[in-house]
Chain A
Amino acid sequence: MGILVRDIMEESEKTFSDIAAVRWLEKKEIAEKSYRELAECVRAVRKGLLAEGFQGKHIALIGVSSVEWIESYLGIITGNAVAVPLDAGLPAEDLIDLLNRSDAEALFLGAKHKPLLKTILANCPALKKVWLLQEEEVQEEDGKTASFANLKVAAHMDSEDAERPGPDDVATIIFTSGTTGKSKGVMLTQSNLAENVRSVNFTAEPGTVLLSVLPIHHAFCLVMDWLKGFSLGSTVCINDSLLHMVRNMSLFRPDVMLMVPLMIETIYKRLSSADPAIPKQVLAEKVFGGNLKIIFSGGAHLDPFYIDEFAQYGVGIYEGYGMSECSPVISNNMPGDCKKGSIGRPLDNAKIVFEDGEILVKGSSVMKGYYKMPEETAETLKDGWLHTGDKGYMDEDGFLFINGRVKNLIILSNGENISPEEIENKLGLSPLVGEVIVTGENNGLTARIYPDQDVVGAKGLGEEEIRGALQAFLDQYNKTQPTYRQITALVVRKNPFIRNSTKKIKRQEAMIDEPLPTA
């Protein structure tokens, strides 16, 4: 019999009832909820969803980290419904596409994103209900919109509770970049999630403080900050904005944090630019808050240089490896069991083999498949083996290393996976863009563009004018995109890209800008 997320949450409610489960900032003051209070709210959401007829339905969430967000998420997945967390930073058209493709029938919407409401309702006919993530009750005239508070009120103490889901039931659908330019909905079951929580071999005293700084719609944050944190009786603190990460570290004084390499790099810049006369211990207190001992890094490869640098400030960095399709952790380094430069030992529920150097994974945390994408599922999951798209090897001590990629995805140091084709298709819409390839360099995306020579000729554009017009087009594109999908550098090519025999651009030679050989 497999375990459920509900089992984990019920156990935590029983064991850690009076310990603070969540802390967050409310008008600059720290507010908190104990495990008992959290469980009561989660039950109220779960009963409310049942009372409103959403058992077994797909329910999306759009919003940044908040206590209401996590209560809603847990209310959905500890009942019988399926949670679909979406990236609140995406443009409205992408959100609408994902809401429709995921067959969402209800939505929890962050109060800040209320301006999206009308467009979403007008374009997502399957949506029957929207609850704004706020504690004040509301009733909009559209008849479909209420608030999270209304939903909790709908459930009475004695009203019926949702049945327990089965371990193989889908609990959540998490969207991830596809290599073909269309994002894919990763279906994770109850036991996929619960087994990942159980198999990550990290323990901490109840009440250990965790500061959650990653985007909550990502599997790494959802499963490891929140579900794993709750399973240990940790106090999970919410970082209200990336603007305030360092300030919030001083405020919440975390013991443990999960980060992506980009965060580690940014913090390092602050450490290294400080006056060398300041003792390291004093600086560590100022930058890390005073208690931080452990950073788990994931989402992208971290340069081992930072591990040594942070160690001088008393902070250990432990790198791990995973992907949404594996719920998400596959391997990780741990305090007392780590090897620098490796991505750690595989979890005990993950079998690893290599096929032509590619890492394949099998185990209880491997996804059920991509939602309504049988072909992509068949390509990625073969006989239960998940093809990760990463190349690697295992050393004689059982530590896993990554040394390349099979699939054409750009992994930025903030952990975001970018499908270059998706962006190239959008940039190709400018008449001035003849050919374009997007590459990932220096923590950002570079657009390499060969201008359309017909347009250049017709308009009589000079070099400076071409660059100016392309940069203006990119600025316009950037305004509509989340920061990680923005183009931060432009290279205007003098020659077309090199193509292979089937006339496809050779991506690996995109940086070469030489005249094509004449036949």
Chain B
Amino acid sequence: MTKEMQFKEIVAQYCNVEPEEMENEMRFREDLGFSSLDFMSFLGELEDTFDVELEEEEALKVLTIADALQLLERLTV
């Protein structure tokens, strides 16, 4: 599974959108219906799955799927 697909599978746990239907500009809170805590918990899962450490302040600036993928890309290089 690609990193992006793995990422989208985690996103899908918190919302009713299938990974294939996710678009880059979708916002976690507004479009995918994440609660503030869903988002925190999701970030924690990203850390565990991809073995990265997120700076909480940096991570909380993430609004869209594209933002999160970019952040993940930077950290896993």
CB–CB B33/A273 < 8 A? no
CB–CB B12/A269 < 8 A? no
CB–CB A443/B35 < 8 A? yes
Encoded as 1 (CB less than 8 Å from any A CB) or 0, chain B from 1 to 43 comes to 0000000000011100000000000000110010111101101
CB–CB B48/A262 < 8 A? no
Q: Please tell me if A101 contacts chain B, counting CB pairs below 8 Å.
A: no
**Given contacts A444-B29, A488-B30, is CB(A247)–CB(B44) below 8 Å?**
yes
CB–CB A414/B48 < 8 A? no
CB–CB B56/A241 < 8 A? yes
B40-74 contacts to A (CB < 8 Å): 40-41, 43-45, 47-48, 54, 56, 59-61, 63
Q: How many residues of A contact B (CB 8 A)?
A: 27
In angstroms, Cα B10 to Cα A273, docked, is: 10
CB–CB B44/A243 < 8 A? yes
Q: Please tell me if A385 contacts chain B, counting CB pairs below 8 Å.
A: no
**Given contacts A247-B48, A269-B14, is CB(A489)–CB(B38) below 8 Å?**
no
- Contact partners of B59 in chain A: CB under 8 A: 243
B33 (CB) vs chain A CBs: closest residue: A442
In angstroms, Cα B8 to Cα A437, docked, is: 35
Please pick, from B33, B43, B63, the residue contacting A243 in the complex, using a CB distance under 8 A. Answer: B43
CB–CB B36/A269 < 8 A? no
A interface secondary structure, majority: helix
Please pick, from A270, A443, A444, the residue contacting B41 in the complex, using a CB distance under 8 A. Answer: A270
CB–CB A246/B37 < 8 A? no
In angstroms, Cα B56 to Cα A475, docked, is: 18
Encoded as 1 (CB less than 8 Å from any B CB) or 0, chain A from 265 to 294 comes to 110011001000000000000000000000
CB–CB B56/A243 < 8 A? yes
Please pick, from B29, B44, B60, the residue contacting A244 in the complex, using a CB distance under 8 A. Answer: B44
B46 (CB) vs chain A CBs: closest residue: A243
Closest chain-A Cβ to B59's Cβ sits at a distance in Å of 8
In angstroms, Cα B8 to Cα A273, docked, is: 13
- Contact partners of A244 in chain B: CB under 8 A: 44, 47
CB–CB B12/A273 < 8 A? yes
Q: Please tell me if A347 contacts chain B, counting CB pairs below 8 Å.
A: no
Q: Please tell me if A30 contacts chain B, counting CB pairs below 8 Å.
A: no
In angstroms, Cα B63 to Cα A499, docked, is: 35
B9 (CB) vs chain A CBs: closest residue: A273
**Given contacts A269-B13, A442-B33, A488-B30, is CB(A242)–CB(B60) below 8 Å?**
no
A-B contact pairs, 14 of them (CB 8 A): A242-B37, A243-B40, A247-B48, A265-B35, A265-B37, A269-B14, A269-B38, A270-B13, A273-B12, A273-B13, A444-B36, A475-B63, A479-B61, A489-B30
Residues of A within 8 A of B (CB): 241-247, 262-263, 265-266, 269-270, 273, 413-414, 442-444, 475, 479, 483-484, 486, 488-490
Residues of B within 8 A of A (CB): 12-14, 29-30, 33, 35-38, 40-41, 43-45, 47-48, 54, 56, 59-61, 63
Please name 15 further chain A to chain B contacts, defined as beta carbons within 8 Å, in addition to the given A243-B44, A263-B37, sorted by A numbering: A242-B37, A242-B41, A243-B40, A245-B40, A245-B44, A246-B41, A262-B37, A265-B37, A269-B14, A270-B41, A413-B35, A443-B36, A475-B63, A488-B29, A490-B30
